[in-house]
Amino acid sequence: MKLIRALSVSRKLCLLALAFAIIFSPWFDSPFKSVFVAAANEKDKATLYSYKVVNTFSHDPESFTQGLFLEDGILYESTGLNGKSAVKKIDLKTGKVIQSRNMQDKFFGEGLTIVNDKIFQITWRSKTGFVYDKDSLEILRTFSYKTQGWGITYDGKYLIISDGSEILYFMDPKSFVVVGKLEVYNDNGKVSKLNELEYIDGEIYANIWGKDLIARIDPKTGYVNSWIDLTGILSKEDRKGKEDVLNGIAYNPENNSLLVTGKLWPKIFEIKIIEKNQQK
């Protein structure tokens, strides 16, 4: 009996060792690997950054912003609310809408991103995503997913989608198969309410819903390397009473800066990231 038990334990240990060998093998290059690494690594305290406003642009105060993307001076924006959701192309400097496509009333628009000549947009609770031609805004196809849709970005290989939890989903942009998941955390535990996303220089930037905070996430481990504190960016004078939360991140590669705004905000702010103790 003891021999049988010993063999059983030995077999379990061998299977466990084999599983770890596969997961941490250099040939196993799936985002699933990140979840295991994230749970095992111990990290230092995350750095806290502030901001300096270097420019401001007009923003439609009726736009319930859910996603932003900047390319060649054109701002691509996805807006939400049933009956008001749309995809827009906007001249950043003037704020003028160049082109717009309204969504059916049943859809609540959420984040968007661009992959080559296509726009990918997700919706909140409909579990339906749309692929548009970037030039004409014509719908090319739809796709589905199993969670809520909040934010979306592209890392050069996979679409990365948030659903308001601490989990990010990696999706193949051709097959729309979820190939991996990443749990986001910091020194205090899981970091949830991940909203609008932007992939910048090897990091995932994520708005934290309900807070004037952006998390900068390591896509390999899920650890929040640093925070950007945007407290006070929308002044009391600019608040008319209906403004909603901070939501919207776009990278400006020409200036190495960020564009940020919020739902129903009257302005878009171009900011530089600075040390917390520097003057704004």
Question: Which helix H or strand E contains 227, and what residues bound it?
Answer: strand 224-229
Which pLDDT tens digits describe the chain residue by residue (280 residues)?
A: 433 333 344 444 444 444 444 443 333 344 443 443 343 344 448 899 999 999 999 999 899 999 999 999 999 999 999 999 999 999 999 999 999 999 999 999 999 999 999 999 999 999 999 999 999 999 999 999 999 999 999 999 999 999 999 999 999 999 999 999 999 999 999 999 999 999 999 999 999 999 999 999 999 999 999 999 999 999 888 877 777 889 999 999 999 999 999 999 999 999 999 987 554 4
Determine if the pTM surpasses 0.75. yes
Question: How far does CA 56 lie from the centroid of its chain?
Answer: 23
- CB distance 91 to 108 below 8 Å: no
**Which residues fall within 8 angstroms of residue 262, CB to CB, at 6 or more apart?**
65, 234, 243, 244, 245, 246, 247, 248
